[in-house]
Every structure is written in C-alpha cells, then in structure tokens.
Amino acid sequence: MGGKTEFAVLIVYHSQSGASAQLAAASWRGATEHNSAARIERAADVGATDIKQSSGVLFVCAENSGRLSGGMKDLLDRIFYPLISAGCSLPYALLVTAGNDGRGAVAEAQRILSGIPFTEALEPRIIRGPVDPEALKCAEELGAGFAVGLEMGIF
C-alpha cells in the first residue's frame, strides 16, 4: 500500500453520551504506551485518506437501538467505496459500548468492514453498562494489544 505516515494506530470514535469518547481515550493511552505515534480522531473528522495512512484502525462506538451508532455508520459509508477503489485492506479492532447487548452493532460493523475488505485483528469487545474503571482498563488493554500486534506484524 505504501504511503504510511508517522502514525500506525488510528483510533476512531463516535460518541453522543461521552462513554465511547472515554473508552477511546483509554484505548489511546494503552496504544501510546507501545506506539507513541498512535492517533485518536472523531469519526466525523476522519476520511478515507486518514484510514489509508494508518497501519490499523481501532473503531470505538456505541450501539443505538440495536444498531451501529449513526456517526460511525456515516464514517463507514463515506470510506467504503474509496477504500475498495484504493485496494486498502487493513487490520482492525472494534470496541462497542452498549446498554445491555451490543451484538447488533458488532455484527453490522463486521459486515461492512469485511466488504472493504478489512481483517478483524482481535475479537470485538463489548462494554455493557456504564463506563467504570474496569471498562476503562479493558479499553486500555485493547489499545495496547492492538498497537503491539501491529508493531510486531502479527496482524
């Protein structure tokens, strides 16, 4: 693919209530422990070029009414065809916050991302209920694991 910039891990989030933003920040803290070039961006501020310049993407969002949150769905809609046209295939990880389920959002994201085609690097994580210290630790570990896997070429 070439054209990689200085950052390897791109953490992209959409947050209405602030929960996904908290989890994205925790993921970024974990990633930066192992990759100082990790970057965090709101989904509304990211385009296909940003994705193409990364080595892997960690998507963080909420489940809304059993589906992927609108802001994350908008991002995936905007990047889908440009990334296919560019032949961009990257590893990704997914972190979803949900009131009680989360599986609908995960399934929708997996379906879209597999069509680009992106490769699922890690099992999706679902944080159910309010964001608490345990949830933040889980997000931080996910960010760290994803960054290390990318750096080691595992994904």
pLDDT in tens, 131-152: 999 999 999 999 999 999 998 8
Which one, of 42, 39, 35, lies nearest residue 10 by Cα?
39
Which of 76, 145, 133 has the alpha carbon at shortest distance from 108? 76
d(CA 75, CA 14): 9
How does DSSP classify residue 101? -
User: Half-sphere exposure of 133 toward its Cβ, with a 13 Å CA cutoff?
Assistant: 0
Q: Does residue 3 fall inside a structural domain?
A: no
Q: Is residue 18 domain-resident?
A: yes
| Residue 129 counted as domain residue | yes
Position 64 in a domain: yes
pLDDT in tens, 69-107: 999 999 999 999 999 999 999 999 999 999 889 999 999
Q: Does some domain include residue 4?
A: no
Of the listed ranges 35-39, 51-55, 119-123, 150-154, the least confidently predicted one is 35-39
Range of the domain at 121: 9-150
User: Which residue type does 101 have?
Assistant: D
DSSP helix/strand/coil, 111: helix
Q: Does residue 71 lie within any of the structural domains?
A: yes
Residue 41 falls inside a structural domain: yes
pTM over 0.85: yes
CA distances to 24, 34, 69, 83 from 148, in Å = 17, 6, 28, 24
Residue 46 has pLDDT above 70, yes or no: yes
Q: What CATH code is carried by the domain that includes residue 82?
A: 3.40.50.360
Residues in the chain: 155
Does any domain span residue 60?
yes
Total of domains in the chain: 1
- CB-CB contact of 110 with 120 (8 Å): yes
Query: Inter-axis angle of helices 103-114 and 70-86, to 10 degrees?
Result: 20
